[in-house]
Amino acid sequence: MSVRPWWLLPPGRIHAGWWIALGALLLWVDHVGGPTAAFPLLYTVPVILAAWYSGKWPAVTLAIAVPLLRVVLVLWAQNQPVDLFSLVLATTLRGTVILLIALWFARLADFERDLTRHVKVLEGMLPICSFCKSIRNESGTWERLELFISRRSEAEFSHGVCPSCGKVHYPDILDPEESVTTR
């Protein structure tokens, strides 16, 4: 069985309120740092976490809200005139980059969830009969290989006769280069 790394949060969804709180905390840290301190890279942290664990729309909302709220805080806290054009331009650029990161991580998270949903791995040693190829399951009973794998995955089987077996078992019916496949 594969073990998730310790640094990853649980694989399921997490309520978006956690990332909103983290975004608010980072805004507060940025605000307390003063007008010259700006930590735009830190704004990506709650956005990435929201994209991965809460979905695209919470991440997009945060990617738009955090830069806009920073502008509001800067305008509200400033006692001196502010170059509004530079502030809006920097916020637009910052918000665009953060939005692209949010969309990218949301897509990666969806892709990983799809892969996890579609991939089922048979792990460990499988006790298999040397003659009939039946497998002993967890309860100790023997079942056909196809049934065992079908129950644990979404694999489907079709049966056929390979050329070498056709030559041995059906020499009069099959041409050695043909194989017959049935479903």
Answer yes or no: is pLDDT of 180 > 60.
Answer: no
pLDDT band at residue 12, thresholds of 50, 70 and 90?
low
Query: 3-class SS at 182?
Result: strand
Amino acid symbol at 72: V
> Residues 161, 179: contact at Cβ < 8 Å?
yes
Answer yes or no: is pLDDT of 143 > 90.
Answer: yes
pLDDT recorded at residue 141? 92
pLDDT tens profile 40-65: 677 788 888 888 888 889 889 888 88
Average pLDDT for the chain: 78
- Which CA distances in Å does 95 have to 39, 40, 59, 61, 99? 13, 9, 12, 11, 6
Q: Kindly state the tokens that stand for 174.
A: 């099959």
pLDDT recorded at residue 168? 86
d(CA 181, CA 40): 61
Answer yes or no: is pLDDT of 161 > 90.
Answer: no
Angle at 143 between CA 139 and CA 146, to 5 degrees: 130
> Residues 179, 163: contact at Cβ < 8 Å?
yes
Longest dimension (CA), the chain: 98
Q: Where are the domains of the chain?
A: 17-118, 135-182
Strand 180-182 to 142-143 pairing? unpaired
Side-chain-facing half-sphere of 26: CA atoms under 13 Å? 23
pLDDT tens profile 92-135: 888 888 889 889 988 998 888 887 776 666 667 888 988 888 89
Answer yes or no: is pLDDT of 26 > 80.
Answer: no
d(CA 82, CA 105): 34
Q: Which residue has the higher pLDDT, 9 or 143?
A: 143
pTM of whole model > 0.75?
no
- Count the Cβ atoms, other than its own, within 10 Å of residue 18: 16
